[in-house]
Structure 1
Amino acid sequence: MNEEISRIKVLSDAFGPSGMEDDVIRKAMQSVPEQYDTKLDTMHNLYIVPKEKKDGCAILLDAHCDEVGFIVQAVLANGTVRFLPLGGWNPVNVAGSAVKIKTENGFVSGIVAAKPVHFMSEAEKKAPISFESLVIDAGTSSKEETMALGIVPGCFIVPDVTCEYIEKQRIFKGKAFDCRIGCAALLQTLHSLPETSNTVTGVLTVQEEVGERGSSLAVQNIKADVAICFEGCPADDSFESPDMVQTAMKKGVMLRAFDCSMITHPAFQKFALDCAEKADIPYQVAVRKGGGTNGGIYHLHDIPTIVIGIPTRFAHSTAGFCSYDDYLGAVRLAREIIKNINQNVIDSFRHVVM
């Protein structure tokens, strides 16, 4: 198994819900190229800083390292656990899932449980699933037994899923591809930088899923002329009508033109599209009525920003798919942008189009 595939699997499996990303950071630090230094801030954003600064432009590569997860709210008398979502979950995608709970004593296995259909009233059967109707069962029968396992309010929780690479289809099946596949792409881009006079810095940001909080701090500690945000973006090809598909798995990287957080800088977007065209890199342009990225933070701090997305089926679910070839395309496109961008190009982003 090659190093990139192994890295993707390790990052996918890492325990890292919003607010508890340390395991992801530790594993990412093991993959940082030797020509880079690392540092953390108090939120545990990981800055990957080149030891040698160059005379060209300053390029920021961003990927958020947190995943959607849960947090223990309370332990009930019968031993089950009330919990709250960290990030945007549909409770329909949660019921029946295996989870692991991080305690001071280690990990505890659990199952997200709803009242069995055998005991439901007709009204309950017709009611939509909500988080209020779900608990986590750790196999215990009392509050004391559950708390003896180390499960207390504030413990963090993620789906209990192990990443698998399916070689025949060249796809990964696992959790947290939003945005661990982006973290892997960022690290590989740093490992394979083209010859350039530009200075390329990376940051793996925390707490994106709960409101881009990590990038809001990171942008205060970084000086950049442009930013590239890698994302494990939601794929739409498994449910949209053909005319509306804009983020299909195995159809290339996604370059997002619009979402709720950012209208992508048209000139930078065009530059990125031209780079993809010239290098024959498959791509898709997406216009989204929902969602957002860290780009929404960076572009408000005078940093022209684009989003390079790797389509991820069933993002914000317990498990999903993404394509190895789409990942490779994201790395190739980032390399082409880094190789071709210069100060004159960036200066042109500040000109009014006549």
Structure 2
Amino acid sequence: MEKLVDSLKKLSNAHGISGHEESIRAIMEEGLKPYVDELTADKMGNLIGTKKGNGPSIMIATHMDEIGLMVQYIDDKGFLKFVKIGGWFDPTLHSQRVVVHTKNGPVPGVIGSKPPHVMKEEDRKRPVKSEEMFIDVGATSRDDAEMMGIAIGTPVSMDREVVALANGKITGKAFDNRAGCAILLEVMRQLADKDIKATVYAVGTVQEEVGLKGARTSAFSLDPDIALAVDTTISGDHPGIDKKDAAVEQGKGGVITVADASGRGLIASPQVLKWLIETAESKHIPYQLEVGDGGTTDATAIHLTRAGIPCSVISVVTRYIHSPVEVVDTADVKACVDLLVSSIEAIDKYF
């Protein structure tokens, strides 16, 4: 467990918004290299580790990117206007510390806006929109900002590190989907010394948060027999949300997706569900089932690739997804590892 949590912390504390996953790919490459027979990066930037076997092929896909921001404009006073990269809820951005990833290295900044003291009464009653915000790096002019290495298109991520909460929970940025990345590394480490019949493709995908792009291209090139996406899902166990809207809870195991986006995204293969559920029950691994009506995962793109690829998703229940203070229960992360390892060991009984 300690190694798994340390890996998650390292991955979460690192930075890699969609289209700029290089730092995460380097960590993943280092972690996968001892446990796979081949390791390559494709033209999109997906990392693909292959552990060869004589049975069916399975793709385990976990996206490396996090939601972030990108510099759109530098004004005359050196303030940075930005666009959102991925699905931000605007109020979570306000008053955050950020890292601006310039060609000269990281530059710290803060997100600001007009202070409420000078707002009109009606403006104080509504949330500040992202287009009304800006990033302050302390620059005194556009030239000053450019001397720091800031340019149009410079990526920006949240300045936040993982800290422990009570009862095995931890909080940090980008658990969506660095939790999946840490799970994949631990799964491949545990599989290394096992007699696995399947060929396992361990894939760190890019640009999931902006359209499932890396999953689409990597699945096309690999054309696996089966695929599982490893991701996060929203929690229904805190104030402000009803169980009817999110039935899964923290501390009750990994989540197996039956369908997401009301079936518009993925309807999981019945045979894949049978495989995962029977394995979990036979090994006494805690699990939950989910039918969601919200977002999708890499599995949505993968299962429609080529002639179709049987898929499901294994997810970690995560509070406050798409914010800088996401929370996971480390016991759930471990349960996802256990389910994946045991399922892959039993794959030849089902496929």
TM-score for both structures, normalised by structure 2:
0.93
Unaligned segments of structure 1, at least 5 residues: 347-354
1:305 is the counterpart of 2:311:
yes
For the Cα contact (< 8 Å) 2:246–2:292, is it kept in 1? Answer: no
Contact 1:33–1:190 under 8 Å retained in 2? no
1:281/1:332 contact within 8 Å kept: yes
CA distance in 2, matches of 1:181, 1:35: 19
Q: How many residues align?
A: 342
Q: Which residue of 2 aligns with 1:186?
A: 184
After superposing the two structures, state which structure 1 stretch, 216-225 or 82-91, moved more.
Answer: 216-225
Partner in structure 1 of residue 294 of structure 2: 290
Inter-partner Cα distance in structure 2 for 1:241 and 1:210:
28
The equivalent of 1:84 in structure 2 is 83
Cα deviation, residue 267, structure 1:
2.8
Which residue of structure 2 lines up, in the alignment, with residue 349 of structure 1?
A: none
Counterpart CA distance in 2 for 1:257 and 1:242 is 17
Contact 2:48/2:201, CA 8 A, preserved across alignment: yes
Question: Retained in 2: the 8 A contact 1:33–1:191?
Answer: no
Give the Cα separation in 2 of the matches to 1:293 and 1:88.
13
1:318 aligns with 2:317: no
Matched to 1:63, the amino acid is T
**Alpha-carbon distance in 1 for matches of 2:211, 2:243:** 31
Q: Which residue of 1 aligns with 2:215?
A: 215
Query: Displacement of 1:33 after TM fit?
Result: 4.6
- TM-superposed deviation, 1:98: 0.5
> What is the Cα deviation at residue 322 of structure 1?
0.7
CA distance in 2, matches of 1:281, 1:67: 29
The answer (yes or no) to whether the contact 1:100–1:157 under 8 Å persists in 2 is: yes
User: Could you report, residue by residue, the CA deviation over 1:166-224 in whole angstroms, capped at 9, with x for unpaired residues?
Assistant: 4x521221111001110110111111014321111100000000000111111122131
Query: Could you tell me how far 1:271 is from its partner in structure 2?
Result: 2.3
Partner of 1:339: 345
Tell me if 1:273 matches 2:272. Answer: no
Q: How far off is 1:235 after superposition? A: 2.1
Distance 1:43 1:198 in 2: 26
Amino acid at match of 2:233: C
Matched AA of 1:327: V
Counterpart CA distance in 1 for 2:313 and 2:243 is 23
Write the deviation string for residues 223-276 of structure 1: whole angstroms up to 9, x where unpaired: 311111110222232232245442312121111111132111123113211211
> Does residue 241 in structure 1 map to residue 242 in structure 2?
yes
| Equivalent residues in 2 for 1:66-81, closer than 5 Å | 66-81=65-80
In percent, how many aligned pairs have the same letter? Answer: 31
Range that drifts further, 265-274 or 313-322: 265-274
- Partners of 1:5 and 1:165 within 8 A in 2: no
* Aligned residues of 2:236 and 2:242 also touching (Cα < 8 A): no
CA distance in 1, matches of 2:271, 2:332: 24
Give 1:1-354 correspondences, 5 Å limit. 2-36=2-36, 37-50=38-51, 53-166=52-165, 168-193=166-191, 194-238=194-238, 239-260=240-261, 261-301=265-305, 302-342=308-348, 345-346=350-351
- Judge conservation of contact 1:180–1:232 (CA < 8 Å) in 2: no
TM-score w.r.t. structure 1 length? Answer: 0.92
Q: Distance in 1 between matches of 2:126 and 2:283?
A: 52
Unaligned runs of 5+ residues in structure 2 are none
Name the aligned partner's letter for residue 175 of structure 1: K
CA distance in 1, matches of 2:237, 2:196: 36
Q: Supply the distance in 2 between the matched residues of 1:4 and 1:61 (Cα, whole angstroms).
A: 17
For 2:322 and 2:230, the matched residues in 1 are separated by: 17
What secondary structure sits across from 2:277 in the alignment?
helix
Distance in 1 (CA, whole Å) between partners of 2:64 and 2:35 is 22
